[in-house]
Every structure is written in C-alpha cells, then in structure tokens.
Amino acid sequence: MSSTQPPAIQMTEVSKHYRRGDETVQVLDHFTLTVEPEAFVALMAPSGSGKSTLLNLVGGLDRPDSGGIVVAGIDLASLNEAALTRWRARNLGFIFQLYYLIPVLSAARNVELPLLLLPLSREERHRRVEAALTLAGLPPERHRFRPTELSGGQQQRVAIARAIVTDPPLLLCDEPTGDLDRSAGDEILNLLKTLNERLRKTIVMVTHDPHAATFATRRIDLDKGLVGERRPAA
Amino acid sequence: MKSPLRFSPLVLSALRRHRLRTWLTMLSVLIAFLLFGLLQALNHAFYGGVKSAGRRILVSMSAESLVEPLPRAYATEIAAMKHIDRVAYEVWMGGYYQHHSQILYALAVSPRRWLDEERRFLLLPPRQESAWLKDRSGALVGNLVARTYHWKTGEIVPIRSDIWIHPNGHNTWPVRVDGIFHSTKKALGEGILVHYRYWNDGMGDPNDVSLLRVEVSHLRDLGQVARAIDARFANSPSPTRTSSAQTFIKDFINQTVDIGVIVEDILAAVFFTMLLVTANTLTRSVRERSGEIAVLHTQGYSRPLIFALILAEALVLVLAGALAGTGLAALIVQGLRGALSAYLPYLALTERAILEAVGLALAFAALSSLLPVLQVQRLRTVDALRRA
C-alpha cells in the first residue's frame, strides 16, 4: 500500500436508522470504519445488525442520517444521484447472495451489461466479457449458457465476472456464499481471495458464516452498530 | 460505438421472459390495429368521396328528399343568378346489369356540361368523346365497370332500372358503349354516363332532374349563393335544399347511419382496452423484475436510462403488434376491394390512415409505459434488493 493512497473506505461517525411500522430501528450509531486499499475485509454480523445497510451506504445506494463516507478520496455526500450512478459504473462491483442474473440472457450477455454503459466497441466488449468469465473460472463452453443451465456456484462465478468486468477497484459482496454448499462456497471464496491478491481488488464481504470470514485478511464483527475487530494470525 | 441498439438484447430479454404473456399482449395490440385499419378503410369508403367533391360546387335537390325530382328549368334560372359559373344537372338512374346483384352507378347527364365539369379528371380518347356527344343512346363507361363486365366500345349493353320504368312498362335501357374512360376520381371509374335526353325521351318528356350541380365563382360566395337559390324556390311547388357538394355527400351517407361516430366509438373502446392490457403487462413485468432493475442500478444504470429501456420495451411490444395488425388490415382491404369496388369504390387503407396508426402506436407505447416508469421512479434500490 502506498502511503499517499487515501483509504479505500473511510466511514466517520455514520448513523442510520429505519422506520419499521411505528418502530424506529437504529442500525448504525456513530459508526466509524477505515478500510485500507487492497484489503479483503469480512464484516461478520447476525441478521438485522446493519451489515447490508453498511454495504448500501458504501455503494452510494443509500444516504446516512449523519456522518461522512469517503470512498477512495471521493466524499459520497458531494455527489448527486446522477453523479453517484456514474461513479458506481466505474468504481464498484456488487456481488449478491442470489446472483441476480437475468434468466433469459446468456452468461456472456449478463456479464456484458455493465460494459454497455462504457464507450466500447462490440469487439472490445466481447474481449472483456470473455476475459472476465475466464478469470471467474467459468468453462468457455458455458459462456453461452443461460443462468438456469448453470449450477449455483457457476451462476455466482458469472455474477463475479459481471462485477469485475469494468475493472473496478472495490468489490462489495453481500453474503456471496449464502446460497451455496460448502464446496462451491469455498471455490467462490478462493476466487475472491485470488482477485484480492492478484488483481489487488479491495473487497468488503458481509457474511454471517465464520468459515467464510477466514478467507479474508481482516475480520470485523458488527453488532448493533458496534465494532469489534479480529485480525487473522499471520 | 454508443449506439442505443446495444441495449436491444436487454430490451428483448424483458419481452422473452414470459413469452405467452408477450404474445397475447401483442395479439391484443394486433387485433386493435387490425380493427383500426379495417374501420379506417370503411370510413374512407363512405367519406372518401366527400374530400374529392369540388369545394366550389353546390348541390341543389328537392327540399323533401333526393327521390323527389326538380324541374330541369331550374338550371336555366339558377345559371342566370349572380356569382355562378356553371350549372349541370343529372338524374340518378341507379340500375343493374343482368342481375340485381350487379349494381350499376348510372347517371343521366347533360353531356357537354358534365364533360366541362369533369374533363380534368378524365382520360378519354377524343374520338370516343365526340362519338358519345353525337350518339343520343350512347354511354361513357368507367374503366372499372368495363373491366368487371368485359364491355368493349361499340357493344350494346342493357341497363335495367327499378326506379325508372318506360311508359310502355319495360325497364330496360339499352345503351351503346361509345367510350371507356379512366379517371383520377375513383367513384367515376365505377360510373356510367348516359345522355339526359335519352332518359327524358324514354320517360315521356317529364323534364325533371334528380339534382343540380352549381359551380360558384368564388368559394367565399358559397353560403350566400346557396341561401339565394333556396330563397328563390321557397314558395314554388318544388322548393330546394342547397348545400356544398361535400356536405351533400356527408348528409347523404349520414341519412342511414353516422359511420364516423360508430368508427370513433368502437376505436375508442378498443384502444382503451388495449391500453389497459399493455400497461398491465408492462407493470407486471417491471414488478417481477424489480430486483434485476435494482441490480442494474448498482451497475451504474441511471433511472432515466431505465425509463428509456421500459419505453423501448413498450415500443417494441406495441409497434410489432401495430405493424402486424395494420399490415393484415391492408391485405384484407386489398382482397375486399376487388369484390366490393362496385359498392364501395373508395374502400382503401390510405397512407394517412397508416401514418395515423404509427402515430397511435407511438402514443400508446408512451402512455402504457407511464405506470411502469412511475413504478421504477418510486422503487428504492435498497428495498428492492432486500425484497428479492
């Protein structure tokens, strides 16, 4: 890590509440977190403790009630909705538990979707899609398969390829192995680890699975907006 | 490089998701536009003649009804009035050829005056024209009638009429085909013109006419002249009712039924239903895809772009159905034209109707995408991701 590089994520005194019927739920209360560039952070938390909210805030999908969020030197509060959308297109890759692939499009077409927003030729898009799918470990003969023709693990590989195809520096993963068996889950976690180590992607992964957290370089326990930190032994 | 067409797989994917629903919606649009095409063709069949009628022409008929005759002498009196260029008269012979089902559109006219009025719309060899002018029992025949019954110049053909019976009791009016003309006015191509004198002599010299065609010098005088004509004959045994040729044709059609109103009512009901069906399809489709739309948003798809994609989806759905429906209507109208040309010479799906169909399709696509667009506008990405 270069000393001049700003933190990948800097959350300062962030608070966020939701209304659930008449009840007010305070999911984050003066929450502060710094994530260094090229880190692989596992955010461990039980359900309802605000870990998805945290990803949404970092991804600019939601705004905090108070506090500041700076991602790679960009203060998200300074960006309006349109600017945030453009920023996401180039700087973020989201990976979800349920993949969210479009079922009637092939794997390659699904991966191509973020590239349609960039000024690229069809050939260049094709080249990047093939590279991303190959990097994600989907066999070439399956690039034209539809999601329903792929296993859960392969669908998540397609989703990861979609997240990295624009080469964003930051990947936000929301329970990426939550819908997979242990073996497929481990393959996906190894893939994320590879992306972190070889391509130097900063990865923030929320999970409630302690085993998944062992693949990260840093583990943060989040409970009711309170942070406890554990770093794996070197 | 940044062609909007690059989004076409995404747009088509939305339509391919529930193929049956898409096909059924497209079918409903197709039926709506098929009806639109057929009803517009029917509308044109009835009112097409209205537009082609001369704007400076007045039609005077009996104030009682078209069946009641007027004295031919009115023509001379009207011709002497102010602001009038020409007066022609005609008798509606009706008639049929051989069988009642083979209806003819035959008129008894003053040949020179009729030619003066209509020559600019005719393509008629001069020799045939002069032959007809000299031949009192001759007829000029529109090319469409001649083709239908395989008539040739020089042939004698019997026109029969249930309206006009000779004093001796027979109803056959044999005429010689002196000329066959083409006309830019479609209705004329279906017409048969015989000499007024031939009809008048055959009827025992009643000197009556069905109506008078009055050409006014200036369009601005149309109303004033019409009122003057009716005032002149108001206290006579045969008072007149005078209106513009366009109004005359419209009133004549509307005596039986106002086709225009029926067409408009049917189309309004059909299109309203189609709008509901299409909007419902799109709304359901967007609701089912709210998770995917949220993910597109996380990938950098802006809301305006997502709105545009929904509009494109509606356009593909509606335009495909509209083009298929209008095309099918054009084929059906084309097929019916041959069979119905004697009854509905103006039956046609006009370019204007086709352009209206395209305009309607665009408008309905925009309208039917309004609800789904509002849905997306209200969609909170974080909620959609949580729900999915």
Q: What is the pLDDT of residues B328-349, one digit of tens each?
A: 999 998 888 777 765 666 778 8
Q: Is the pLDDT of residue B388 over 70?
A: no
* pLDDT on residue B328: 94
d(CA A49, CA A33): 16
Q: Read off the pLDDT of residues B58-91 as tens digits, 9 standing for 90 and up.
A: 888 888 877 788 999 999 999 998 888 888 898 9
* Structural Rg of chain A based on CA atoms: 18
In this predicted model, which residue has the larger pLDDT, B54 or B177? B177
What is the distance between the alpha carbons of residues B196 and B188, in angstroms, rounded to a whole number?
Answer: 17
A102 → closest Cβ in B13, B298, B388: B13
Q: A25 and chain B: CB distance < 8 Å anywhere? A: no
Separation of alpha carbons A45 and A210, rounded Å: 10
Q: How far is Cα A87 from Cα A89, in angstroms, rounded to an integer?
A: 5
pLDDT at B251: 61
Grouping H, G, I as helix, E, B as strand and the rest as coil, residue B195 is strand
- pLDDT value at residue A140: 92
**Contact state of A109 with B299 under an 8 Å Cβ cutoff:** no
The pLDDT of residue B252 is: 59
Tell me what percent of the residues of chain B surpass a pLDDT of 70: 91
Is residue A168 within 8 A of residue A91, CB to CB? The reply is yes
Higher pLDDT, residue B250 or B66: B66
pLDDT for residue B49 is more than 60:
no
Instruction: State which amino acid sits at residue B208.
Output: D
Q: Which residues, including other chains, have CB under 8 Å from residue B280's CB and lie 6 or more apart?
A: none
As a whole number of angstroms, the distance between CA B161 and CA A182 comes to 95
Residues of A in contact with B294 (CB under 8 A): 100
Low-confidence ranges of chain A (pLDDT < 70): 1-3, 223-234
What SS3 class is residue B120?
helix
* CA B204/CA B221 separation, integer angstroms: 37
User: If interface means Cβ-Cβ distance under 8 Å, which residues of chain B face chain A?
Assistant: 1-2, 6-7, 9-10, 13, 16-17, 291-292, 294-303, 305, 381-382, 385-386, 388
Residues β-bridged to residue A174: A96, A206
How many beta carbons lie within 10 A of that of residue B122, not counting itself? 18
Confidence (pLDDT) at A151: 92
Chain A residues touching B295 at Cβ < 8 A: 94, 96, 100
* Min Cα–Cα distance to chain B from A233, Å: 34
pLDDT of residue A47: 73
Q: Looking at residues B230-251, what average pLDDT do you find?
A: 81
Q: Would you say A152 and A117 are in contact if contact means Cβ atoms under 8 Å apart? A: no
Q: pLDDT tens across B345-383, in order? A: 677 888 888 999 999 999 989 998 888 888 888 888 888
Question: Cβ A85–B301 below 8 Å, yes or no?
Answer: yes
Q: Where are the beta strands (DSSP E) in B26-112?
A: 57-62, 70-71, 84-96, 103-109
Angle at CA B113, nearest 5°, toward B121 and B63?
100
Q: How many CB atoms lie within 10 A of CB A210?
A: 11
